[in-house]
Amino acid sequence: MRLSTEAVKGLKEVKKAILAEPRQFIMGEFFAQSDEFVFAEGNNGPNREPARHIPNCNTAACFAGHTIAIYHAKTPREARTTYGFNPFDQAAFILGLDYDTAACLFYLGRWPYEFHINYLYADTPEKRAQVAAKRLDAFIAEHTA
């Protein structure tokens, strides 16, 4: 599936947001607030972390959650409250992705092994954000060639 120009632009904005504030990025939840759970990267990673403050709006988001927030010019917290119903389908629609293509981006378990394993073993939000940024770059390259 070939990405539209708008989808590439949107994914680059997601990458920029993730790298700007890695503590607001989590792949284990579409949206998550720090006061709602024991932050453990959504139980996806081997490294448990204590509950922690999420900066800015106190809400973290995954690729899909950030896509929705950026598209609607909202914070992740506002996007969760207003657009939090079925975020997978909403983000796929915004980016013009079919189900399988969206799943390969939005579900960590569908990432290529190299990115999946590196993400799981990244032990800080900053390291996870770097892996996620590389995943976005690879996804864009794969779907624009």
> pTM of the prediction?
0.87
> Has residue 141 got a pLDDT over 90?
yes
CA end-to-end distance (rounded Å), the chain:
10
Which of 110, 140, 103, 106 minimizes the C-alpha distance to 10?
140
Residue 70 neighbours by CB distance under 10 Å: 21
Containing structural domain, residue 113: 5-142
**1-54: pLDDT as tens digits:** 999 999 999 999 999 999 999 988 988 888 877 765 544 554 444 444 545 677
State how many domains the chain has.
Answer: 1
Where is mean pLDDT largest: 33-37, 51-55, 81-85, 106-110?
Answer: 106-110
